[in-house]
């Protein structure tokens, strides 16, 4: 197996945290997105989606999508479970993972990629070029702040998003909160559930993976 990674990018960080929580080690190659290495001919041949993370399997299969990679690794290394152990927890992990991706991650990415010069005509990652839409910047920031309100409410009375067990949903939501700093949106001081939960994740060794 070989993991296509980039240390500075948020989605690969989710996979690195997942690997660290599981205690899995694997070879990694850095694709420096800031230097345009996703446009190198060899990388585009190996990975037509032109995104990281991507996991190349020994039989030549290429897995893209953070959650697909994590699900594959979960099936190979079931303990500790990061996808929930019973019907309710599995559903809560799925629910919060999807909300964190769609309402959190995409909101921050929308604000970032539609404002920063280096993403001009690259408002979405991947093989197709899309022009920036400046109006999406403020909307993305507002959506990210809205996600934090929901996250704060979702963490009330709970250690982790799905209850008692740390999960991949916590990893994704944590990375969203960190990523939101890139567009200067952060939880408010009143959002103490997020602050407590964020500090607990930051203290885990996986947070620096
Ligand atoms: N839906 C994908 C998104 C992956 C993604 O957007 N990766 C970014 C880095 S965080 C990327 O590869 N960007 C390439 C580019 O900006 O050209 C996932 O969940 O893994």
> Domains of the chain: which residue ranges?
2-76, 87-208
User: What is the structure's pLDDT at 201?
Assistant: 98
Ligand 1 — pocket residues by CB below 6 A?
Answer: 9-11, 33, 38, 51-53, 65-66, 122, 125
- DSSP structure class, residue 7: T
For position 126, what pLDDT does the model report? Answer: 96
Q: What is the pLDDT of residue 169?
A: 98
Residue nearest to atom 12 of ligand 1 (CA): 51
Name the residue of 9, 69, 118 whose CB sits within 8 Å of the most ligand 1 atoms, as the mutation to test its pocket.
9
Q: What is the pTM of this model?
A: 0.97
pLDDT > 90 fraction of the chain, expressed in percent and rounded: 100
Q: What is the structure's pLDDT at 129?
A: 97
Q: Which atom of ligand 1 is nearest to 66's Cα?
A: 20
Which of these, 53, 66, 73, lies nearest to 98 by C-alpha position? 66
> Considering the chain, what is the average pLDDT of its residues?
97
- Rounded to an integer, the average pLDDT of 100-118 is 98
Closest C-alpha among 184, 161, 187 to residue 98: 161
For ligand 1, the distance from its centroid to the CA atom of residue 52, given in whole angstroms, is 5
- CATH code of the domain made up of 87-208: 1.20.1050.10
Are the C-beta atoms of residues 168 and 93 closer than 8 Å to each other?
A: yes
The closest alpha carbon to 106, from 8, 10, 207, belongs to 10
Distance CA 91, CA 74 (A): 16
Q: Residues 113-124: what's their mean pLDDT?
A: 97
> Which residues are CB-neighbours of 154 under 8 A, at least 6 positions away?
96, 161
**Amino acid 182: pLDDT:** 97
Query: What pLDDT score does 204 carry?
Result: 98
Mean pLDDT along residues 96-102: 98
- 12-38 residue pLDDT tens: 999 999 999 999 999 999 999 999 999
Atom of ligand 1 nearest to the CA of 39: 17
Q: Model confidence over 171-191: pLDDT tens digits? A: 999 999 999 999 999 999 999
CATH topology of domain 2-76: Glutaredoxin (3.40.30)
């Amino acid at each position: 197996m070989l993991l296509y990674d980039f240390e500075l990018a948020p989605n690969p960080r989710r996979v690195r945290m997942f690997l660290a929580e599981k205690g899995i080690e694997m070879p990694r190659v850095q694709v420096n997105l800031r230097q345009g290495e996703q446009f190198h001919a060899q990388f585009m041949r190996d990975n037509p989606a032109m995104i990281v993370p991507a996991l190349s399997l020994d039989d030549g299969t290429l897995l893209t999508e953070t959650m697909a990679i994590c699900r594959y690794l979960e099936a190979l290394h079931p303990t500790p479970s990061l996808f929930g152990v019973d019907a309710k927890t599995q559903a809560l992990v799925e629910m919060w993972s999807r909300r964190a991706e769609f309402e959190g991650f995409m909101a921050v990415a929308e604000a970032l990629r539609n404002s920063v010069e280096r993403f001009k005509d690259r408002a979405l990652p991947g093989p197709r070029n899309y022009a920036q839409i400046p109006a999406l910047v403020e909307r993305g920031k507002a959506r990210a702040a809205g996600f934090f309100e929901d996250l704060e409410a979702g963490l009330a009375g709970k250690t982790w998003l799905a209850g008692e067990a740390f999960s991949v949903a916590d990893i994704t939501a944590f990375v969203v909160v960190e990523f939101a700093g890139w567009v200067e949106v952060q939880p408010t001081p009143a959002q103490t559930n997020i602050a407590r939960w964020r500090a607990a994740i930051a203290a885990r060794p996986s947070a620096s993976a």
